Amino acid sequence: MELWIWLNQIIGALIYYLLVLAIVIPFTLHWKSPVILVSAYIGSYVIAQYTSPLLTFFGPWIVPNGNIPFVATIALMDIIVVRWGLSFARQVIIAGFLVQILLFATNYYILLTPRPFEELRVLESVYTVSGRVAIASPIAYLAAENVNALVTWIYRRIWWARTLYSDPIALTIDTLIFIPIAFYGAVDILTLINMIIGLALLKIALIPFNLLVVYVNRRFIEDKLALKA
């Protein structure tokens, strides 16, 4: 049980990344198009928003559950930037932002709808936190993703550098913006600090998975698409 508390997020990340790669690689190579990549990127943000309100453990730290699909978007953005360029990547970032606005509006509409059964009101606490996540996420998202895309573009010719340089900066920016907005007042200050530290450490721990995705992109997508283009 102790091992599961420490490793549950790492195991979950490995499973999620493998599933994403299994979907993205064959369809991207077959269609020679960013459609699946962009879908996986925006879809991962949607998943992150609806899983973040449920807190879990990463070792002794408390962290949101949505960090796994979020960190995966950093790796997916790497592929988008390198293959289709910074301008296209920024369009995808804006598209992801607009989708999150729709989620925010829908969440609060749901909170205003009448309940047929009083006991269902317990679910409002989940949607209320999700609503705050929907506010925090676009703000943190725009700041972190634009920095990530820019640094990735600058170091696009060095596959390991663009991950090791961009990821820590982007992930730290996201954590420092996201956690206070999403959870301030919902948890006490000590827990909030614990979450910031834990999430920052977890995101850094997941960077090797991003390196794996970037390497797979370099090995199976970049070169093959360049030859077939």
Residues of the chain with pLDDT under 70: 1, 117-134, 222-229
Which residue ranges make up each domain of the chain? 2-228
The predicted structure's pLDDT at residue 35: 93
Give the bridge partners for 56, in sequence order: 63
Distance CA 140, CA 12 (A): 23
The predicted structure's pLDDT at residue 42: 93
The predicted structure's pLDDT at residue 229: 46
SS3 per-residue string spanning 70-106 = HHHHHHHHHHHHHHHCHHHHHHHHHHHHHHHHHHHHH
The predicted structure's pLDDT at residue 121: 61
The answer to whether the CB of 139 falls within 8 A of the CB of 177 is yes
The predicted structure's pLDDT at residue 118: 65
The secondary structure of the chain in percent helix, strand, coil, rounded to multiples of 5, reads 85, 5, 10
Residue 152 structure tokens: 């990735």
pLDDT in tens, 173-193: 988 998 888 888 877 889 889
Give the bridge partners for 63, in sequence order: 56
pTM of the model: 0.81
CA 214 to chain centre: 16
The predicted structure's pLDDT at residue 125: 59
The predicted structure's pLDDT at residue 110: 75
